[in-house]
Structure 1
Amino acid sequence: MNRVRLLVLNAALGPLDYRVPDHLHVEPGSVIIAPLGPRQVFGIAWESERLPGAEVPDARLRPILDVMPVPPLRAPLRRLIEWTADYYCAAPASVARMSLSSGAALRGGGTLTEYRLSGAMPSRLTPQRDVAISALDGEQGTIRELVDLAGVSEAVLRGLVNAGVMEPVVVDIDRPYPLARSDHARPSLSDLQQGAADRFVDAVKAREFAPMLLDGVTGSGKTETYFEAVAQAVDEGRQVLVLLPEIALTENFLKRFASRFGVPPVVWHSNQKQSERRRAWRQVAEGGAQVVVGARSALFLPFANLGLIVVDEAHEVSFKQDDGVRYNARDVAVMRARFEQIPVILASATPALESLQMAEAGIYEKIDLPSRFGAASLPDIAIVDLREQVPPRGRWLAPPLVAGIEERLARGEQALLFLNRRGYAPLTLCRNCGFRFQCPNCSAWLVEHRLSKRLACHHCGHEVPSPSLCPECGEADCLTACGPGVERIADEVAELFPDARIQVVTSDTLSNPEKIAAFVDAAESGAIDVIVGTQLVTKGYHFPELTLVGVVDADLGLEGGDLRAAERSYQQIAQVAGRAGRASKPGEVMIQTRHPEAPVIAALAAGDRDAFYEAETEARRHAGAPPFGRWAAIIVSSEDEAEAREAARIIGNAAPRLDDLAVYGPAPAPLSLLRGRYRYRLLINARRSAAVQQTIRDWLGELSFAPGVRVGVDIDPYSFV
């Protein structure tokens, strides 16, 4: 009898066996729809020997309903799903769901009616119609998608269709993408760049697993070198995946890619319209998407013929997912390349310590680009000691930095001020009674945003309008903003330089690709004098007239209990410093700090990256921290604080006593209340040789908790909140 084992996309269920009717053909990786009680569920056909499950007699098997019209998931992707689930202590179904992340794409092809502006104007122009027409200029999509873009009701758009202002367009759902041309605009590379590019091209030709670390200073042309490997893969008819850490970097990358290859790449991220994700998924699966640029979730797309993976800005913390399946896309990318037997390039100006250690051990091949391309040189770095150069009362910019901005404005050049804190102020309190505005769902202060006139929690998204009276004592004119955010710094610059054109750059102000593209165009054309931004501006951008970078508070990243704080701070400041002087004009970086003697600040001032990494390496070795030891976290949460505390106590009392593993906690998490759930954490520190994952599975597998308790495992944690 023909039977099949399914990995059903429900983490609460184990593998299920079904009967395959004679008229259906199933092979490993086939995407199947099957009955489950009165419902229908998706599943993936899997090798029985690789997915143990309870044996069910043939007579009790229900037949599958259908095989979906998509190519089966290939063996390398199935092995990646197994590895990711095993390494990160996740349910295989939760990992597999990321590969089938566009449910609409699993159905057959067909056509779709989309709408766009026709150029006509309505006889009656209401305010809502005016808003819709302005928002939808150049856009095309389904009515539902356009409703989200325009911010108006569906009835308003239907009215515009009936009035002939919007016209229907019938499109092929799965239409192919235009082809990239490898010879469209070949760049002129320096000798160093050419050497790196040749190595990458050879690796693509070899069709073997080859992990490579591209370590190049900011402005050295890393993108141009790996574009040559992309060109080689395109010539061979193979697919390429480029991972970027931020959606905000995508627009800039698309422009660079299009100028090199003649067409933009295929894009994959969570902000896309459903029809775009459907088309991209199917073209990836059928081999029609040549080059895919995406966020970390693109790593699990079902590529038909993958030939190269590139992880750009590979040091970035945002490659680590902190909910759901808690995986690190940088490390999973290396494993996918291993299963696919292809090269993978990790590109960064400030590589993660773990990557550098892998290169030193000879596991990764290290390729260096130690100088900037062409006439550009690395910027000069000056330390501004805030204990000696004190900003005026109520101000945050010290006199040397203000003078530096004034000098750039006089020369018609640009300045960038970096502070990794969104909003106007991180805390608002009442001078009269001491009341502080706190999130009701999280143990965090509400951040004041004066641009939107809201107080917002940056953890759960809770917002309230900015009040005029203290809600505790009822006093007026008594609310005080404490500390600076980027909006407050922008206000200070506006007071000092009223004629300066200032742009605040955060995830709040650049909330979609269109706004990001408009910012890049304005900065490149010289329409902005001073950029004030968060970590969003630390990487990827190239503005020729930007010659001064000011780090407003270099000590901010060193606060708190983050065990990687020094490395993160170094990377972030070094990256933002790299925005200065990227063309022919020399750049300067001013770093404001109250701790100039701190190793991170001293290394930045001396331009001695190697000295910082050596000191950090020794500190990690002494602490048994990664890459010399292992970390794992267990996070316990519940809406009932007593339940969460009791579950954490049970886990702590059952902790294994092993020589190669130490357990710390349980203790309340730094964010002890998050999104309405009370949280406790345990931290595991183990030797490299310890079987951490199996130990955790054995440890937690025998315990039971109240129904409202969630227990999460985070292998190689980056966030300690």
Structure 2
Amino acid sequence: MSLTRVRLLVMNAALGPLDYKVPEGMQVEHGSIVIAPLGPRQVTGIVWESERLPATSVPEEKLRGLLAVLDVPPIRAELRRLIEWTADYYVAPLAPVARMVISSGGALRGPATMTEYRLTGGTPERMTPQRAAAIEALEGEQGTIRELSGIADVSEGVLRGLVNQGVLEPVEVDVDRPYTRARADFHLPNLSADQREVADQLVAAVNAAEFAPILLDGVTGSGKTETYFEAVGAAIAEDRQVLVLLPEIALTEAFLSRFESRFGAAPIVWHSSLKSTERRRAWRAIASGEAQVVVGARSALFLPYANLGLIIVDEAHEISFKQDDGVRYNARDVAVMRAHFEKVPVVLASATPALESLHMADSGTYEKLVLPSRFGGAQLPDIKLIDLTEEKPGSGAWIAAPLRAALEDRLAKGEQSLLFLNRRGYAPLTLCRHCGFRFQCPNCSAWLVEHRLSQRLACHHCGHETAPPEKCPECGEPDCLVACGPGVERIADEVAEILSDARVAVVTSDTLNSPEKAAEFVAMAEAKAIDVIVGTQLVTKGFHFPELTLVGVIDADLGLEGGDLRAAERTYQQVAQVAGRAGRGAKPGEVLIQTRHPEAPVIAALEAGDRDAFYEAETDARRYAGAPPFGRWAAIIISSEDEREAREAAQRLGDTRPHLDDVQVLGPAPAPMALLRNRYRYRLLLNARRTANLQAVVRDWLGGIDHPPGVRVGVDVDPYSFV
């Protein structure tokens, strides 16, 4: 039955729900995306169930009529319930959560065409070197002038000249043209007995078409991807859609290649670097049900799938699944809830699962499937510690003698090495040796990091950049700047000194900042055009290089210095993951971990390869502290461009704190990052027992206080970052 009066969730949190009447002849249902008048403006909204979206009732005669229903499928009830749950759990307004669903404005405008160009086979009246190079590069290519300009590496003017000469012809194409179809049986793999047993259970879960949270716990190199691909194939065979979440865009290209080899076509990709036309095409294919498999970053979780059959969260332990601004959600946990509402299986795959996921498996809430050994007979690497209090690298050096010798040995054998340090740039601090001046970000409580490759000083929090000055800005002394501490660029320089013939690649989010650059790096590593990889946490994930036999961890203690709740767990995960890059082929691998604290429980567990002992000790510590998964945390962040205003707002909030037996409130106190993007910040931290309704406590508390316009109050439920 078509509705005659509707309540809209509009995409502006400040407006709240609005009621409208439906003009005669307009067909509207719950979930329809519509255009409505608001004063002289127009707003986009989603038709919602009135009983689920309370609002002040407006008399019928005062209602204005809707203007249009957009030509896209209505947002399904299952996704509307996920929007509600996410807003409720993370104490966020509904509107910004819903905006993540309607994430392509172009997709809402209905069918469209665009003009692309291709070669005709003709030749220009006057051939120039640029024209000749363009014609050669564009053989078999079709795209917009801008796209072809990038492919041919010539200006758009050169290509427009070829259009005028009839060498390039225009072609009208459907923006929403179909994608190549994947086939479940395109290339069936040879699985090991362990892989086949797990794959059969995953396929059974897909065929059952019921909610089933599954933890796929497999050691590095065990072939988790090939195993869950069998479940993907089962969903494709049943015409059900699949979502695969990856933690980093840099992993996408390698994954796409493996996917295409298995299924004969690439999946649909979703991430922040997509062009607007690509986002539009993908969004409409997903909403119509044409899209078979979507591979994407965390935002892909909120797309309007028409017929979802399976969700995979790969590298499910990764911190990058947690959004740290806007709606502060954890995609791993929201994926489980989306699977719950959609009544489909969800697979959390990891070699180092989050402690919370292991706890859910141990309690029987998640089913745990295990791949205990590497595929094809490959062995896990030998792990040894280098005690930096005994094996000191020497003045101005960061690589100890045993690791230097191992690097030289691998280069002599023609094998590859990887050095891991989770610190971008050349040095984390630059100061003046004459007066001691330290270069600090003008917008944040952070030192500027020196990047010698790009010749800049940069803040990794707000993005501020400046060129290194020739003189100290404090004392005016020339040639007095000193780099303090190592970043990956400095380690790469040291490697070049030790191994003058080695081909060294620096791998960070700065150097692999696009899928194309990531693909280029993978191709070079696989072709053995790189001898030593020096990288940050980006290299801990997903890469498989058979000739890589040595991993060196430059500073295993670095992650333990932050003092946050998950510091030990995160250190274990990062080092264990990067260690897993070694010896994935026929040749044995070795891992050397440099540390000043070999007695620390996390370091000892890494040396012994005893993951269970580490998690058991970490579980006991969390239980004693009432920390997740045994208790709940929520952070409240108060900020303002005026320091006094922020401090007073935080104090007012602290003075009205709830006094409850099952909720403890700590603070307010200046945040560790007390100034961020020109805003002064204070924090309060709530520690609640599992019996407490934490979200209700936060809402009631914050709802009773009005702050000045310049004050922002943010809520972070289940925080990962404590800055």
- TM value normalised by structure 1: 0.96
Residue 513 (1) aligns with residue 515 (2): yes
Secondary structure of 2:375 counterpart: coil
Residue 579 of structure 1 deviates from its aligned partner by 0.3
Residue number in structure 1 paired with 2:229: 227
Residue 642 of structure 1 deviates from its aligned partner by 1.1
Residue number in structure 2 paired with 1:85: 87
Q: Distance in 2 between matches of 1:423 and 1:155?
A: 38
Secondary structure of 1:204 counterpart: helix
| Residues 1:696 and 1:197: Cα distance change in structure 2 (over 3 Å) | same
Residue 671 of structure 1 deviates from its aligned partner by 0.7
Aligned runs of 1:563-602 on 2, under 5 Å?
A: 563-602=565-604
Secondary structure of 1:374 counterpart: helix
Q: Distance in 2 between matches of 1:132 and 1:596?
A: 58
Residue number in structure 2 paired with 1:268: 270
Q: Deviation string for 1:172-222 (max 9, x for gaps)?
A: 111111111111111111111111000000001101000000000000010
Residue 382 (1) aligns with residue 361 (2): no
Q: Distance in 2 between matches of 1:505 and 1:539?
A: 12
> In 2, are the aligned partners of 1:204 and 1:229 still within 8 Å (CA)?
yes
Q: Distance in 2 between matches of 1:705 and 1:627?
A: 33
Name stretches of at least 5 consecutive residues in structure 2 with no aligned partner. none
Residue number in structure 1 paired with 2:639: 637
Residue 560 of structure 1 deviates from its aligned partner by 1.8
Q: Distance in 2 between matches of 1:486 and 1:219?
A: 25
Residue number in structure 1 paired with 2:394: 392
Residue 125 of structure 1 deviates from its aligned partner by 7.2
Residue 160 of structure 1 deviates from its aligned partner by 6.7
Residue number in structure 1 paired with 2:184: 182
Q: Which amino acid is the alignment partner of residue 78 of structure 2? A: P
Partner of residue 308 from structure 1, selected from 310, 321, 330: 310
Q: Which amino acid is the alignment partner of residue 679 of structure 1? A: R
Q: Distance in 2 between matches of 1:608 and 1:495?
A: 36
Q: Which amino acid is the alignment partner of residue 438 of structure 1? A: Q
Residue 162 of structure 1 deviates from its aligned partner by 5.0
Residue number in structure 1 paired with 2:675: 673
Q: Deviation string for 1:586-608 (max 9, x for gaps)?
A: 00000000000011100000000
Q: Distance in 1 between matches of 2:681 and 2:43?
A: 33
Q: Distance in 1 between matches of 2:570 and 2:219?
A: 17
Residue number in structure 2 paired with 1:339: 341
Q: Distance in 2 between matches of 1:368 and 1:286?
A: 36
Q: Which amino acid is the alignment partner of residue 433 of structure 2? A: R
Residue 22 of structure 1 deviates from its aligned partner by 1.3
Residue 13 of structure 1 deviates from its aligned partner by 1.3
What is the total number of aligned residue pairs between the two structures? 720
Q: Deviation string for 1:426-453 (max 9, x for gaps)?
A: 1110001111111111111111111111
Aligned runs of 1:612-623 on 2, under 5 Å?
A: 612-623=614-625
Q: Distance in 1 between matches of 2:132 and 2:434?
A: 46
Secondary structure of 2:635 counterpart: strand
Q: Deviation string for 1:214-243 (max 9, x for gaps)?
A: 000000010111100000000001000000
Q: Distance in 2 between matches of 1:636 and 1:615?
A: 34
Secondary structure of 2:43 counterpart: strand
Q: Which amino acid is the alignment partner of residue 319 of structure 1? A: F
Partner of residue 473 from structure 1, selected from 467, 472, 475: 475
Q: Distance in 2 between matches of 1:702 and 1:118?
A: 69
Residue number in structure 2 paired with 1:21: 23
Residue 558 (1) aligns with residue 566 (2): no
| Residues 1:647 and 1:156: Cα distance change in structure 2 (over 3 Å) | farther
Q: Distance in 2 between matches of 1:178 and 1:86?
A: 39
> In 2, are the aligned partners of 1:186 and 1:260 still within 8 Å (CA)?
yes
Residue 646 of structure 1 deviates from its aligned partner by 1.0
| Residues 1:102 and 1:398: Cα distance change in structure 2 (over 3 Å) | same
- TM value normalised by structure 2: 0.96
Q: Which amino acid is the alignment partner of residue 445 of structure 1? A: W
Residue 214 (1) aligns with residue 219 (2): no
Residue number in structure 1 paired with 2:433: 431
Secondary structure of 1:381 counterpart: strand
Q: Distance in 2 between matches of 1:154 and 1:389?
A: 58
Aligned runs of 1:127-276 on 2, under 5 Å?
A: 141-142=143-144, 162=164, 168-276=170-278
| Residues 1:527 and 1:605: Cα distance change in structure 2 (over 3 Å) | same
| Residues 1:649 and 1:164: Cα distance change in structure 2 (over 3 Å) | farther
Aligned runs of 1:701-712 on 2, under 5 Å?
A: 701-712=703-714
Q: Distance in 1 between matches of 2:266 and 2:561?
A: 41
Q: Distance in 2 between matches of 1:575 and 1:116?
A: 45
Residue 107 (1) aligns with residue 109 (2): yes
Residue number in structure 2 paired with 1:372: 374
Indicate the RMSD between aligned Cα atoms, in angstroms: 2.2
Q: Distance in 2 between matches of 1:717 and 1:38?
A: 41
> In 2, are the aligned partners of 1:122 and 1:165 still within 8 Å (CA)?
no
Q: Distance in 1 between matches of 2:667 and 2:163?
A: 61
Partner of residue 449 from structure 2, selected from 442, 447, 465: 447
Secondary structure of 1:215 counterpart: strand
| Residues 1:64 and 1:146: Cα distance change in structure 2 (over 3 Å) | farther
| Residues 1:16 and 1:153: Cα distance change in structure 2 (over 3 Å) | farther
Secondary structure of 2:376 counterpart: coil
Q: Distance in 2 between matches of 1:391 and 1:286?
A: 60
Residue 131 of structure 1 deviates from its aligned partner by 12
Residue number in structure 1 paired with 2:414: 412
Q: Which amino acid is the alignment partner of residue 703 of structure 1? A: I
Q: Distance in 2 between matches of 1:155 and 1:564?
A: 54
Q: Distance in 2 between matches of 1:301 and 1:289?
A: 11
| Residues 1:628 and 1:64: Cα distance change in structure 2 (over 3 Å) | same
Residue 169 of structure 1 deviates from its aligned partner by 3.8
Q: Which amino acid is the alignment partner of residue 449 of structure 1? A: H
Secondary structure of 1:393 counterpart: coil
Q: Distance in 2 between matches of 1:150 and 1:347?
A: 40
Q: Distance in 1 between matches of 2:253 and 2:439?
A: 36
Q: Distance in 2 between matches of 1:122 and 1:381?
A: 67
Residue 334 of structure 1 deviates from its aligned partner by 0.3
Residue number in structure 2 paired with 1:691: 693
Q: Distance in 1 between matches of 2:605 and 2:585?
A: 24
Q: Deviation string for 1:483-542 (max 9, x for gaps)?
A: 111000001111111110111001111111111101000000111000000111101000
| Residues 1:483 and 1:305: Cα distance change in structure 2 (over 3 Å) | same
Q: Which amino acid is the alignment partner of residue 385 of structure 1? A: D
Q: Distance in 2 between matches of 1:121 and 1:327?
A: 56
Q: Deviation string for 1:270-290 (max 9, x for gaps)?
A: 001111110000000001100
Q: Which amino acid is the alignment partner of residue 635 of structure 2? A: A
Partner of residue 364 from structure 2, selected from 356, 362, 365: 362
Partner of residue 526 from structure 2, selected from 511, 524, 527: 524
Partner of residue 496 from structure 1, selected from 488, 495, 498: 498
> In 2, are the aligned partners of 1:245 and 1:295 still within 8 Å (CA)?
yes
Secondary structure of 2:370 counterpart: strand
Q: Distance in 1 between matches of 2:33 and 2:312?
A: 28
Secondary structure of 1:242 counterpart: strand
| Residues 1:523 and 1:710: Cα distance change in structure 2 (over 3 Å) | same
Q: Which amino acid is the alignment partner of residue 374 of structure 2? A: R
Q: Distance in 1 between matches of 2:126 and 2:657?
A: 73
Residue number in structure 1 paired with 2:331: 329
| Residues 1:157 and 1:558: Cα distance change in structure 2 (over 3 Å) | farther
Secondary structure of 2:698 counterpart: helix
Residue number in structure 2 paired with 1:535: 537
Identity of aligned residues (%): 74
Aligned runs of 1:35-74 on 2, under 5 Å?
A: 35-74=37-76
Residue number in structure 2 paired with 1:611: 613
> In 2, are the aligned partners of 1:145 and 1:273 still within 8 Å (CA)?
no
Name stretches of at least 5 consecutive residues in structure 1 with no aligned partner. none
| Residues 1:522 and 1:364: Cα distance change in structure 2 (over 3 Å) | same
| Residues 1:253 and 1:400: Cα distance change in structure 2 (over 3 Å) | same
Residue number in structure 1 paired with 2:648: 646
